[in-house]
Amino acid sequence: MLLADDDPDLRTIAEVALSTVGGLVVRAVASGAEALAAAREEPPDVVLLDVMMPGLDGPSTLERLRAEPATRAIPVIFMTAKVQDHEVARYRALGAAAVIRKPFDPMTLAAQVRAIVAGQPPR
Protein backbone atom coordinates (compact mmCIF):
# COMPACT_ATOMS: atom_id res chain seq x y z
CA MET A 1 0.00 0.00 0.00
CA LEU A 2 0.98 3.62 -0.42
CA LEU A 3 0.86 6.05 2.51
CA ALA A 4 1.16 9.81 1.93
CA ASP A 5 1.38 12.23 4.85
CA ASP A 6 3.52 15.35 5.21
CA ASP A 7 3.83 15.03 9.00
CA PRO A 8 6.94 12.87 9.62
CA ASP A 9 5.77 11.73 13.06
CA LEU A 10 2.31 10.70 11.87
CA ARG A 11 3.82 9.07 8.79
CA THR A 12 6.16 6.99 10.98
CA ILE A 13 3.39 5.98 13.39
CA ALA A 14 1.07 5.02 10.52
CA GLU A 15 3.82 3.12 8.73
CA VAL A 16 4.65 1.12 11.86
CA ALA A 17 0.95 0.55 12.56
CA LEU A 18 0.33 -0.72 9.05
CA SER A 19 3.50 -2.77 8.58
CA THR A 20 4.64 -4.00 11.99
CA VAL A 21 1.24 -4.26 13.67
CA GLY A 22 -0.83 -4.94 10.55
CA GLY A 23 1.55 -6.96 8.40
CA LEU A 24 1.04 -4.81 5.31
CA VAL A 25 3.76 -3.84 2.85
CA VAL A 26 3.91 -0.04 2.98
CA ARG A 27 5.64 2.58 0.90
CA ALA A 28 5.52 5.91 2.72
CA VAL A 29 5.93 9.30 1.04
CA ALA A 30 5.76 12.88 2.29
CA SER A 31 3.71 14.68 -0.38
CA GLY A 32 1.01 14.46 -2.99
CA ALA A 33 3.59 14.80 -5.76
CA GLU A 34 5.61 11.91 -4.31
CA ALA A 35 2.43 9.86 -4.02
CA LEU A 36 1.65 10.39 -7.71
CA ALA A 37 5.17 9.40 -8.73
CA ALA A 38 5.12 6.31 -6.50
CA ALA A 39 1.69 5.22 -7.76
CA ARG A 40 2.83 5.59 -11.38
CA GLU A 41 6.04 3.67 -10.68
CA GLU A 42 4.38 0.78 -8.87
CA PRO A 43 0.59 1.00 -8.56
CA PRO A 44 -0.38 0.05 -4.99
CA ASP A 45 -3.41 -1.97 -3.93
CA VAL A 46 -4.64 0.96 -1.84
CA VAL A 47 -3.60 4.55 -1.04
CA LEU A 48 -3.93 6.10 2.41
CA LEU A 49 -3.81 9.83 1.79
CA ASP A 50 -3.58 12.82 4.12
CA VAL A 51 -6.03 15.58 3.17
CA MET A 52 -3.97 18.62 4.15
CA MET A 53 -0.49 18.65 2.63
CA PRO A 54 1.46 21.62 1.29
CA GLY A 55 1.69 21.90 -2.47
CA LEU A 56 -0.49 19.15 -3.85
CA ASP A 57 -3.12 18.40 -1.20
CA GLY A 58 -4.98 15.11 -0.81
CA PRO A 59 -8.08 15.99 -2.86
CA SER A 60 -5.91 17.28 -5.73
CA THR A 61 -3.76 14.15 -5.55
CA LEU A 62 -6.88 11.97 -5.73
CA GLU A 63 -8.12 13.97 -8.70
CA ARG A 64 -4.86 13.32 -10.55
CA LEU A 65 -4.85 9.63 -9.62
CA ARG A 66 -8.37 9.32 -11.07
CA ALA A 67 -7.29 11.08 -14.29
CA GLU A 68 -4.67 8.44 -15.15
CA PRO A 69 -5.70 5.02 -16.49
CA ALA A 70 -3.02 3.14 -14.51
CA THR A 71 -4.14 4.60 -11.17
CA ARG A 72 -7.83 5.33 -11.78
CA ALA A 73 -9.21 2.26 -10.00
CA ILE A 74 -6.92 2.22 -6.95
CA PRO A 75 -8.98 2.60 -3.76
CA VAL A 76 -8.04 5.81 -1.94
CA ILE A 77 -8.76 6.35 1.74
CA PHE A 78 -8.40 9.81 3.20
CA MET A 79 -6.93 10.19 6.66
CA THR A 80 -7.82 13.51 8.28
CA ALA A 81 -9.08 15.36 11.32
CA LYS A 82 -11.56 17.17 9.03
CA VAL A 83 -14.47 14.75 9.38
CA GLN A 84 -17.60 16.86 9.57
CA ASP A 85 -20.44 15.37 7.53
CA HIS A 86 -20.13 17.88 4.68
CA GLU A 87 -16.35 17.30 4.48
CA VAL A 88 -16.71 13.52 4.37
CA ALA A 89 -19.43 13.88 1.72
CA ARG A 90 -17.05 16.01 -0.37
CA TYR A 91 -14.25 13.45 -0.10
CA ARG A 92 -16.63 10.65 -1.08
CA ALA A 93 -17.90 12.71 -4.03
CA LEU A 94 -14.29 13.06 -5.19
CA GLY A 95 -14.02 9.28 -5.27
CA ALA A 96 -12.54 8.38 -1.89
CA ALA A 97 -13.43 4.89 -0.69
CA ALA A 98 -13.65 6.11 2.91
CA VAL A 99 -12.29 8.51 5.49
CA ILE A 100 -10.33 7.52 8.59
CA ARG A 101 -10.33 10.04 11.41
CA LYS A 102 -7.12 11.45 12.84
CA PRO A 103 -5.95 10.78 15.42
CA PHE A 104 -6.20 7.13 14.47
CA ASP A 105 -5.69 4.07 16.65
CA PRO A 106 -2.38 2.50 15.57
CA MET A 107 -3.53 -0.90 16.82
CA THR A 108 -6.59 -0.99 14.55
CA LEU A 109 -5.46 1.08 11.54
CA ALA A 110 -4.52 -1.91 9.36
CA ALA A 111 -7.79 -3.67 10.18
CA GLN A 112 -9.72 -0.51 9.24
CA VAL A 113 -7.91 -0.31 5.90
CA ARG A 114 -8.52 -4.00 5.19
CA ALA A 115 -12.23 -3.64 6.05
CA ILE A 116 -12.63 -0.63 3.77
CA VAL A 117 -10.91 -2.36 0.86
CA ALA A 118 -13.18 -5.38 1.47
CA GLY A 119 -16.19 -3.07 1.13
CA GLN A 120 -17.10 -2.73 4.79
CA PRO A 121 -17.75 0.71 6.29
CA PRO A 122 -15.02 2.12 8.55
CA ARG A 123 -15.53 1.89 12.30
Tell me, what CATH number does 22's domain have?
Answer: 3.40.50.2300
SS3 breakdown of the chain: % helix, strand, coil, rounded to 5? 45, 15, 40
pLDDT at site 122:
56
Q: What is the mean pLDDT of residues 103-111?
A: 95
Q: How would residue 121 be classed by pLDDT, with cut points 50, 70 and 90?
A: low
Q: Is position 122 within any domain?
A: no
pLDDT at site 32:
97
Q: How would residue 9 be classed by pLDDT, with cut points 50, 70 and 90?
A: very high
Q: Is position 7 within any domain?
A: yes
pLDDT at site 82:
81
Is residue 123 scored above 70 in pLDDT? Answer: no
Torsion of CA 66, 69, 73, 75, to 10 degrees: -50
Domain count, the chain: 1
Q: What is the mean pLDDT of residues 73-98?
A: 92
Q: What is the mean pLDDT of residues 90-96?
A: 93
**Closest residue by Cα to residue 4 from 64, 58, 66, 63:** 58
Cα–Cα dist 11/44, whole Å: 17
